[in-house]
Amino acid sequence: MDIARFIDHTLLKPEATPPQVEQLCAEAREYGFAAICINPIYVQLAASLLAGSQTAVCTVVGFPLGATTSEVKVFETEQACRSGAAEIDMVIAIGQLKAGKHAYVREDIRLVVAAAHASGAICKVIIEAALLSDAEKRMAVELAVEAGADFVKTSTGFSSGGATVADVALMHQAAGGRAQVKAAGGVRSLADAQAMIAAGATRLGSSGGVAIVHEAGGEAVTIQKDTY
């Protein structure tokens, strides 16, 4: 397997500049990453730079708190897709989930998924696992699946913790093949990447994608799937 095809090459820092995004896109073209993940302001730039490449443009919605209204999340999604985004990573309404407002959370996700799918984009749902109990993680995954999400994603990378092998395994099990799992936040080495994939992740969000590919030495990497 080509490890680069698992990686969303990510730059979401608020101080990211246009030249840094241009470098990110150049690296994505060179290494063949699955996607780049950037803030919405840079979608149009990235789409122009990656046109004709095998790398998709991914952006974030309701990021990083998830606490904007559904209407705002839908608007963000529609605008991003018009600008060239092919993948949307949205943050759930975390506080509503923790309050047991499951219908709200499901509908919030469903509306964003529908907007993404209407433009031919896929939707990944960030549950911010570090802020949730295991029961809440399972519920978040179930709600995302019910709402039609393509992926569930561990983390924004901006909260109190990132991806863990245990969370990826839990989410993979909860999804039951109905959605894929993206691990993000703290995936910095080839060993990290291999562990997350073994636990069930099919996509990795990382700002260290180039280092991971170099560590792999350009060789195909064999992953032994663990059983959880």
Active site residues: 89, 153, 182
Tokens representing 98 are: 């923790």
Could you give the 3-state DSSP secondary structure of residue 157? Answer: coil
Q: Look at the block and give the residue holding tokens 């989930």.
A: 97
Residues 6 or more apart whose CB falls under 8 angstroms from that of 138 comprise: 170, 174
Whether 70 and 107 have beta carbons less than 8 Å apart is answered as yes
- How far, in Å, CA of 20 to CA of 190, rounded? 23
Q: How far apart (Å, rounded) are the C-alpha atoms in residues 93 and 95?
A: 6
Residues paired with residue 11 on neighbouring β-strands, in sequence order: 38
Outline where 84-146 has alpha helix (H).
94-98, 102-118, 134-146
Sign, Cα dihedral of 183, 172, 165, 125:
positive
